[in-house]
Amino acid sequence: MAKWRIMAKRTGNNRYLREMNQALLLDIIRVREGVSRIALASFTGLSATAIGAIVKGLLEEGYVHETGSGESSGGRKPVLLRLMPNRWFGIGVDVDARFLYLSILDHAGGVLWQRRQEGDGRVSPDATVSRIGALATEALRETGISKEKILGMGVSVPGIVDRRTRNIAFAPNLAWTDASIRGPLETAVGLPVLVENESVCSTLCEQWMGSCRLVEDFVQINIDTGIGAGLFLKGGLYRGTSGSAGEVGHIIVEDEGPLCTCGNHGCLETLSSLDAMLREAKASSFESFQATVRAGEPGCVAVMERASRSLGRAVAMLVNTLNPSRIVLGKRFPEYADLALRTVRDEVERLALKWPFAQMEVVPASFGEESSSYGAAILPIRQLMQPQQG
């Protein structure tokens, strides 16, 4: 609520103020999922007259609609406002060495279309642009959504995105260095394009659609073939000076551990990523590895235990350093949370400082592999509601 009041009381250009306050109300309506005009005035500190004028515009433009009635405080029951479904849309693409995952979400958070298209290994940026363009064309044809209703396209990549140029500075799993896909993709699809790190996109998904809608300080750790994190601190995404914040896969958890591609030994990624577990267990797939762990095969159980303890050590360091209210374990982790979560939590409790540990929780993410694609689709949508955030 404090954030919303600060935004509402900014001064300056009248048009800017109107747009900011409109975005502010949309954000509150999104988060609260049914809120009255009276409540909007209370949350923001804006006058009833100002709220009425802004809401009138939002209704006329089809951003929100009136639905149902709230609890009466003595007079007429207040009319509730919600985001209008199927009015404006965002396209999200998760680029992985193994697949493309494309989703279309409406600005109310509804998933209208999604598809995972398998790949055949690393492909060039140009080939990726072509594949995305073809898949987006297919999605729009099948849904019948006109391009005029698409707010833009977000692209999630497994690497460091330069905050200044929005180029992909380094994506080791794709073998890309200083790759630019934003401009070529805008030309190919005819839409504004936003590029972001895949863990940041998953974090945005959890904050908009998952368990962290009202959480101001949390960290989402994505566990997949690699490990990365998104930091949501003080009510906003934190990317660091150059955009590399969240590289938790390179926290050293074992001094004498395996050699990492970064040159160090014992990085979290060498012990707790899916690739690391498969190598150590000599398993052919993660699905078969999970099956053997559930069957109680001692060697595979030991691999899972070691990976879970290592993850717990890294989480404890984040608890001590950042003092979040929640650590969310995402991407592939929800698939095997029943095998690992207790060990992770026990290790965090053993190593974290008691006071910050008592104020936080470690939970599986609400979404799995699709989370980065959903978060990428949210990137253009959130500019309606949080235009001051990049």
Q: Give residue 117's pLDDT.
A: 95
Q: How confident is residue 386, by pLDDT bands cut at 50, 70 and 90?
A: confident
pLDDT for position 73: 57
Does 378 lie in the same domain as 359?
A: no
**112 and 62 in a common domain:** no
Domain boundary at 83, 110, 130, which? 83
192 with 303, same domain: the answer is no
Tell me what the mean pLDDT of segment 255-261 comes to: 92
Report how far residue 42's alpha carbon sits from residue 8's, in angstroms, rounded to the nearest whole number. Answer: 11
117 and 186, same structural domain? yes
Which of 57-61, 278-282, 356-360 is predicted with the least confidence, judged by mean pLDDT?
A: 57-61
The reply to whether 225 and 178 lie within a common domain is no
Same domain, 154 and 175: yes
321 shares its domain with 267: yes
Closest CA to 54 of 33, 37, 72, 77: 37
4 has a pLDDT exceeding 60? no
Does residue 326 have a pLDDT over 80?
yes
User: Are residue 93 and residue 65 in the same domain, yes or no?
Assistant: no
**pLDDT exceeds cutoff 60 at 331:** yes
Residue 71: inside a domain, yes or no?
A: yes
pLDDT of 336 above 60: yes
Say how many domains are in the chain: 3
pLDDT at residue 181 above 60?
yes
- 300 or 74, higher pLDDT: 300
pLDDT of 325 reads 97
Q: Is 201 helix (H, G, I), strand (E, B) or coil?
A: helix
- pLDDT over threshold 80, residue 165: yes
Average pLDDT, integer, range 102-129? 92
Q: How confident is the model at residue 321, as a pLDDT?
A: 97
| CATH number where 67 lies | 1.10.10.10
Has residue 7 been placed in a domain?
yes
Residue 364 pLDDT: 98
Q: Give the pLDDT score at 21.
A: 87
Query: Do residue 323 and residue 248 come from a single domain?
Result: yes
pLDDT in tens, 87-96: 999 999 999 9
Does the pLDDT of residue 72 top 80, yes or no? no
Euclidean distance between CA atoms 89 and 219, whole angstroms: 27
Per the structure, the complete domain to which residue 77 belongs is given by 2-83
Same domain assignment for residues 171 and 303 = no
**Same domain assignment for residues 218 and 134:** no
Cα 285 from chain centre: 26
Residue 390 belongs to a domain: no
What is residue 5's predicted lDDT score, i.e. its pLDDT? 52
Per-residue pLDDT, averaged over 6-28, amounts to 72
Neighbours of 171 (CB within 10 A): 21
What is the CATH number for 315?
3.30.420.40
pLDDT band at 111 (very low <50, low <70, confident <90, very high): very high
- Residues in CB range of 15: below 8 A, 6 or more apart: none
> Partners of 161 in the beta sheet?
168
* pLDDT attached to residue 390: 56
Residue 233: inside a domain: yes
Spatial contact of 250 and 269, defined as CB atoms under 8 Å apart: yes
In a domain, 208, yes or no: no
Average pLDDT on 268-282 reads 97
Average of per-residue pLDDT values in the chain? 92
pLDDT at 360 over 80: yes
Boundary (domain end) residue, out of 83, 103, 133: 83
> Does the residue 325 lie in any domain?
yes
Q: Tell whether 38 and 136 lie within a shared domain.
A: no
Q: What pLDDT score was predicted for residue 6?
A: 45
Buried b (16+ CB within 10 A) or exposed e, 17-35: eeebbbbbbbbbbbebeeb
DSSP per position, 255-310: TT-PBPTTS-BSBTHHHHSHHHHHHHHT-S-HHHHHHHHHTT-HHHHHHHHHHHHH
CA angle 162, 168, 172 (to 5 degrees): 120
Q: Which of 69-78, 138-147, 283-292, 356-365 has the lowest mean pLDDT?
A: 69-78
> 13 pLDDT exceeds 80?
no
Is 27 contained in some domain? yes
Residues of the chain above pLDDT 70, percent: 93
Give the end of a domain, one of 83, 107, 141: 83
Per-residue confidence (pLDDT) for residue 14, from 0 to 100:
67
DSSP label at residue 218: E
Asked, for residue 175, whether it belongs to a domain, the answer is yes
